[in-house]
Amino acid sequence: MLISAPVQNDSKPRRLGEIENEITELAAHIHAATFRVLELIREFDEREGWGGPGLRSCAHWLNWKCSIGLGAAREKVRVAHALANLPKISDEFRQGRISFSKVRAMTRVATPVNEVELLNIARYGTASHVERLVSQYRKVKRIEALEAENQRHRLRELNWYVDDDGSYVFKARLTPEQGERVVRAIESAMDEEFEERKNVSAETFLRSDRRTARPASILDRIRQFRFGRARKWTTGWRSRRCCRWNRSKTPAWNRWNQNER
């Protein structure tokens, strides 16, 4: 589809004020049209309409179909998706009040919380002003993130002790990554212990009272194990003695038969 711009046939020079008004008006139309293009790009990308042989992303499709540089195409896709969560910036952009250059800069740091403050600067500042502000803002955020990470590192601690009943008591303050690893390790240990308990025979538990049955403690298990082995050995010894004693005796009916002979 070919679109040509209107040709100005008037030979008489126009007033500069009229030219200025037309330029700003056309620029506002371009801004509004750019917003509409970005809306279509977001929907096109979400539905993966760009899929085809040799195409790896929506940016590559824009580079091929719309003759947009690959870097600029990636920026358009990024901004298009970012605007979905920025209603106030989107509304200003839709009406052509702010340019794509300002929107591109703001979407690098904008959130639903701070977009109003960024818009106040974008309305009355230049695009280069907004770019410098965003750059400084990102620098400050990186410094704050680094300080927060160092603060978490300094506040790390781990204390533990064994209570009177043998229980282990822990108190710890860890970084998010370390805490996640510790939690996974504890959960793995608990699952392993649960599987071991599930496979243990019921004979390894002592029940002092049927109404208040409880798992046997370590000492109880040791006593039970030693007592069980002693009882088993004693029973076996008695049975062997009985067997030897019975074999040494001649049955009464056999003795009576021998006397009859």
Q: pLDDT at residue 77 above 80?
A: yes
pLDDT of 253 higher than 70: no
pLDDT value for 204: 56
Please say whether the beta carbons of 94 and 32 come within 8 A.
Answer: yes
Q: Which residue has the higher pLDDT, 20 or 9?
A: 20
Distances (CA, A) of 229 to 211, 216, 219: 28, 17, 15
Could you write out the DSSP letters of every residue in 106-129? HTTT--TTTHHHHHHHHHHS-HHH
**pLDDT reported for residue 1:** 57
Q: Does residue 80 register a pLDDT over 90?
A: yes
Q: Per-residue pLDDT for 232 more than 60?
A: no
Q: What percentage of the chain has pLDDT greater than the value 90?
A: 41
Would you say residue 260 has pLDDT above 50?
no
Neighbours of 127 (CB within 10 A): 16
Contact between 97 and 103 under an 8 Å Cβ cutoff? The reply is no
Q: Where are the domains of the chain?
A: 20-152, 157-199, 206-231
pTM above threshold 0.85:
no
d(CA 251, CA 130): 115
Phi and psi of 62, rounded to 5°? Answer: -65, -40
